[in-house]
Structure 1
Amino acid sequence: MNQEVITHIVNEFNTPIYIYDGEKIEHQYKLLKSCLPKHFEVFYSVKANPLLGVCQLFKKLGSQIEVASLAELQTAFQAGFTPDQIIFTSPGKTIEELETSIDRQIYSINVESLEEAILINHIGQKKGRQVPISVRINPDFNLSGAGLRMTGVPTQFGIDQSQLEEALGTIQSLPYLKLIGLHIYTGSQMLAASLIIKNMEEIIKLAITVSETYAFPLQFLDLGGGFGIPYFTGEQYLDMDELGKGLQTVWETYAHKLEGTRIGVESGRFLMAESGLFVTKVLYVKESKGTKYVVCDGGSNHHASSAFLGRHIRNNFPMHVHSQEEQDELTEVTVVGSLCTPTDVIGQKVKLGKVDSGDYIVVEKSGAYGLTHSPVLFLSHQLPAEVLYKQGQVHVLRERGSVEDFFKGQKLLSTHEELLQRT
């Protein structure tokens, strides 16, 4: 996606805006598939970017899908996924979400607690239907080296390995549950192939041990994911050749134990992050006590990940001034949005070329956990448009929001006279 394309899109749809490169999405999906053993399936993690058009593209590419809410479940169906291609993972599923998943007969509900399993059994009993589930385990090990660890520590995700005997004993006694598999997700944003390989080997070994110990056929094994992409200075791309060779060796070692088992990996960030650009227009350039500020029309309310909201340590996404040739002279600036809070910083002390009002700042690697991860209601700015560029065509995935959107569902207080009339 070249500079001219970006200029055309910005001129037509204004800013702030998310632009996704459909060719890059396809490339990342095929790259990941190419390094996995042939038997493995990819489940797109909708939470990374839940746009209907994005999910539709992954369906066309041959992906399965992993959802974590009722809206994501409905998105999966609208995008064309069939029940056998859908798994539901979340530590806090509501009764409505569970009932809909059961009614639509999705492939697996990944259970995160014994209490959830008991609730699913109760719903299954009411509906007269046995429900396929996979148990998510929080193992004692964590070899991931992940930026965000999700196992081996206290967590809301899954059932602790030390509690498996009691939990599986109860689950296997519940007549309306069909235990078909196990799910282990150890961490996110892993960049070392050797650690991913070792981690997945340990997951496979644990899954085989659990299925043999508790005497149930392992129909499904969700290995999680965590495939990372480099955002920051000093980070290296994941070595896909090493990953592919290592995973194939692991698979050849344990394939005889997993004959007939459906193997899945989840991915969102790896598939989507590098496809996306967040483009925001410079409104003002000012100085304050020695710091140069670039004030833009889009900020942390639209791109919380770039602002590192909620993080104790921040870094900067790669960014540049649009349509600007590479310059020798760079100036240190802080890029901010238009919110009335000092946390609205999407680039702190970044080095940019000459920047003026009317220029555009492009935040790279913004395809995953962008708008979907952001506090869009803060200050009630309109939602940015989201578009996808593929094979020379621009597809609008989400129209730009309007001021009227923020009044949908709201009600004025009733006056005293109106309350009297109702009585």
Structure 2
Amino acid sequence: MTLPDALDALLRDRAARDEPVCLFAYDLAGLRRHVSDVVASLPAPCRMYYAMKANSAGEILAALAPIVAGFEVASGGEIAKVRAADPSAAILFGGPAKTPGEIGAALDADVTRLHVESLLELYRISAAATARGRTVEVLLRVNLAGPFPDATIAMAGRPTQFGIDEADLPAAMAAVTTLPGLRFAGFHLHSLSNNLSAETHLAMLGLYRDTVLAWEKEFGVEVEVLDVGGGIGVDYQDTAHRFDWDAFTRGLTSWVGTLPAHWREIQFECGRYLTAACGTYAVEVLDVKRNHGVAWALVRGGTHHFRLPVSWQHSHPFTVFAVDRWDPEAPRPSVTDDRVTVAGELCTPKDVLARDVPVAAVRAGDVLVFELAGAYGWDISHHDFLSHPHPEHVFLGQGT
């Protein structure tokens, strides 16, 4: 059964039940195909790690574990989730505010590498490593001065909580090359999020290369690993507009040819680009009404399940799944050839998933299907605000 057929069957089954439809559906077969193609297209020595903050469901992790080089995590809880899905998976541990307890737990879980974000953190990792009689491999995350291309979110080139200020790098290099229990492997330079241009992403990699080559000379070191982050984007407003991955990998192959041989690994840590398209959020329209001239579709769900639209302040794309079933004794409000704003069940005017969207028709009892919901949907949402029931999570294509 194809995904459209499977999703259609799922929605028809749920719409026939008494409880309103409210679910996330994930296409695991499509996810595996997409990520396999991405990984296969990377030139050596590039490797793809999954940034699991995008979607940490155990089924997602298990589907990706045989395909990706490992997982990028940002907490002790994420380390535990990876180990539950794959006890032997490679783990990269980042995050701007690691606790001493998390650092110790990371070493006990045998993480592959830690991404260090401050001078103090170097001392904490050193203490944890020496207490265990260990040596741990680290990358220094540096907040470069820039300038960088435009993207939805900037992680560097401006004041942020991420990484070591480039001006403070000499002190960090002195510490990482002398503190016990540490082995300096290279740098982490994740600077942008949701960049949609292959050309500007390649330009950023060129800046990374030139900067790190200069640092090798300045500090008298040889870099083995360079983490170039993720940051490859998804266009939620124009779903036909996609990051040109083929053009990017062609340019990436040329870029790799300019690197020194001792750079043994280039780490990518993508999240959104890998999982966004595998997820769908489907919610039933509980009511349709007009208020001050605006047509509203009120759904069983909202930003406590799917916070991405309000977080990014956009109208998320959706389609209307028509449901004929209705109680003939009750009125069925609807709008036709009109613009509609979709709001959830929370007692706040900010609970809006889409605003002023043209629709041919939508009725109470129909189901709205939000695409591109596989990344930063459920995982970033305030699930228990107002204590509404959680949505169902359905994983399609588990055995294919």
TM-score (norm 1): 0.86
Where structure 1 has 5 or more consecutive residues not aligned to the other structure, the ranges are: 394-423
**Unaligned segments of structure 2, at least 5 residues:** 324-335
Residues 62-82 of structure 1, C-alpha deviation per residue, up to 9 Å, x if partnerless?
441100111110111111152
2:314 aligned partner: 315
> Which of 369, 386, 389 is equivalent to 1:379?
386
Pairing 1:284-323 to 2, within 5 Å after superposition: 284-306=287-309, 308-309=310-311, 314-323=313-322
Partner of residue 271, structure 2: 268
Q: SS of the residue aligned with 1:141?
A: coil
Q: How does 1:398-413 map to 2 (within 5 A)?
A: none
Q: CA-to-partner distance for each residue in 1:280-329, whole Å, 9 max, x for gaps?
A: 011111111111110110101101112x14x5xx22111010158xxxx6
Query: 1:46 maps to which residue?
Result: 52
User: Which residue pairs with 1:19 in the alignment?
Assistant: 25
Q: Is 1:278 matched with 2:281?
A: yes
Q: Distance in 1 between matches of 2:225 and 2:242?
A: 30
Alignment of 1:11-410 (within 5 A): 11-12=13-14, 15-80=21-86, 82=88, 85-233=90-238, 236-254=241-259, 257-259=260-262, 261-306=264-309, 308-309=310-311, 314-323=313-322, 330-390=337-397
Q: 1:388 to 1:371 in 2, by over 3 A?
A: same
Identical pairs, percent? 29
Tell whether the 8 Å contact from 2:45 to 2:264 is kept in structure 1 after alignment: no
Which deviations, in whole Å up to 9, do the C-alpha atoms of 1:346-404 show, x marking residues without a partner? Answer: 111111221111110011111000010111121011221212211787xxxxxxxxxxx
Contact 2:222–2:262 under 8 Å retained in 1: no
Whichever residue aligns with residue 265 of structure 1, its letter is F
User: What is the distance in 2 between the residues matched to 1:81 and 1:155?
Assistant: 34
- Determine if contact 2:70/2:91 at 8 Å carries over to the other structure: yes
The answer as to whether partners of 1:179 and 1:216 remain within 8 angstroms in 2 is no
Q: In structure 1, what is the Cα distance between the partners aligned to 2:299 and 2:61?
A: 30
SS at match of 1:134: strand
Question: How far apart are residue 276 of structure 1 and its match?
Answer: 0.8
Paired position in structure 2 for 1:416: none
Counterpart residue type for residue 55 of structure 1: L
Shift of 1:260: 5.3
| Root-mean-square deviation over aligned CA pairs | 2.0
Equivalent-residue separation in structure 1 for 2:355 and 2:41 (angstroms)? 36
CA distance in 2, matches of 1:128, 1:356: 65
The one-letter amino acid paired with 2:307 is A
Tell me the CA shift for residue 2 of structure 1: 4.7
Q: Distance in 1 between matches of 2:374 and 2:392?
A: 13
- Could you tell me how far 1:16 is from its partner in structure 2? 1.4
Q: Please list the CA deviations of residues 223-280 of structure 1 after superposition, one character each: whole Å capped at 9, or x if unmatched.
A: 11211122114972112221111111111111xx143522110111010111111000
Cα offset for 1:216? 2.9
Match of 2:328?
A: none
Name the SS for the 2:231 alignment partner. coil
3-state SS of 1:294 partner: strand
- In structure 1, the partner of 2:6 is 5
Deviation at 1:127, TM superposition (A): 1.9
The normalised TM-score by structure 2 is 0.90
Amino acid at match of 2:360: G
| One-letter amino acid of the structure 1 residue matched with residue 273 of structure 2 | F
Looking at structure 2, the residues matched to 183 and 285 of structure 1 have their Cα atoms a distance apart, in angstroms, of 49
Cα pair 1:321 1:353 within 8 Å, conserved: no
CA distance in 2, matches of 1:360, 1:3: 15
CA contact (8 A) 2:223 2:262 kept: no
